Amino acid sequence: MNKVFKIVWSKTKGCYVVASEFAKSHQSGATRASRKVMATLLLSSMVLMQHSVYASYITADKGFMDGKNSVGFDTGNVSSYRLLLRGINGITTTLTTYDTNAEDGVGTGKAMTGSNKQVLTIGLSTESQEKLDQAASSAASSASSAESSASSATAADSSATNASSSATAADSSASSASSSATAADSSAFSAASSATAADSSASSASSSATAADSSASSAASSATAADSSASSAASSATAADSSASSAASSATAAASSATAADSSASSATSSATAADSSASSAASSATAAD
């Protein structure tokens, strides 16, 4: 009896396994389970291989490739069964040799029919990958646009806040302008009062200038009188000097007169003494004559 193999997920083993329709039907006891298509699994969609592969032992775990007791599927006959993989467009498959030294077990050489260990790699086609990349790029662009929109909304909110602040500032400026206008009116009134006071000060200054001119004239007259007084004082000083000179001359003359008087007194005394002596001589002569 021919067998058709399918890759299904084993809940008990926790990995994908390959099972035949005959074996699955025997285990479930119903032919309905063997015909169920696992459309929701990615690994159930495969492209038709370019060549058939002899299947003896199939596993999804590298650790079981060299083990004897593994969870892989074994047909039990190397040369009796073949595994045909089919799928849909967008999935690519490559068959390579198994390499125990490779980290994932995938070799670089092309699988040969005589190789007893081979690796089937299932992946997306270039077109599918490009579509996924485009979708990812579109998603990134959408996310960027959403972020830009969010930033714009934030900026708009900030602008609204700034506008409200500006309106408040404008209202405050208007109040300040009104206060400034009131202050300007008060300043104008003060300026008018200052102008009146300045006019009064100018009149007072004119009167002060007239008084200063009169004072200057009086000062000039006083200066003239002072000059005359100075001249008179100089004349008086000259006269006093002349008087002093005359007094000195008079004093000198008086001293000379006193000296002459003193000399006359001395002469008079000498004359008196001589007269007295003459009288004495006369008395003596009289006595002698007697």
pLDDT along the chain (290 residues), means of 10: 59 63 44 36 36 50 58 50 64 79 79 73 79 87 88 87 87 85 86 86 87 87 87 87 86 88 88 88 85
Q: What are the phi and psi torsion angles at 280 (to 5°)?
A: -65, -40
Which pLDDT value is given to residue 218?
86
Cα dihedral 242, 243, 246, 248 sign: negative
Which pLDDT value is given to residue 15?
65
Which pLDDT value is given to residue 14?
59
Which residues lie across from 62 on neighbouring strands? none
Q: CA-CA distance, 56 to 65, in Å (whole number)?
A: 12
Q: What are the phi and psi torsion angles at 224 (to 5°)?
A: -65, -45
Which pLDDT value is given to residue 39?
32
Tokens read off for 155:
């900026």
Cα dihedral 57, 59, 64, 69 sign: negative
DSSP code per residue over 30-73? -HHHHT---TT-GGG--PPPSS-EE-SEE-S-GGGSS-SS-SSE
Tokens read off for 48:
């038709």
Which pLDDT value is given to residue 94?
77
DSSP, collapsed to helix, strand or coil, labels residue 124 as strand
Where in the chain are the domains?
Answer: 5-124
Q: Which helix (H) or strand (E) holds 245?
A: helix 126-289
Q: Which helix (H) or strand (E) holds 123?
A: strand 118-124
The predicted model scores a pTM of 0.30
Dihedral, CA of residue 282, residue 286, residue 289 and residue 290, to nearest 10: -170
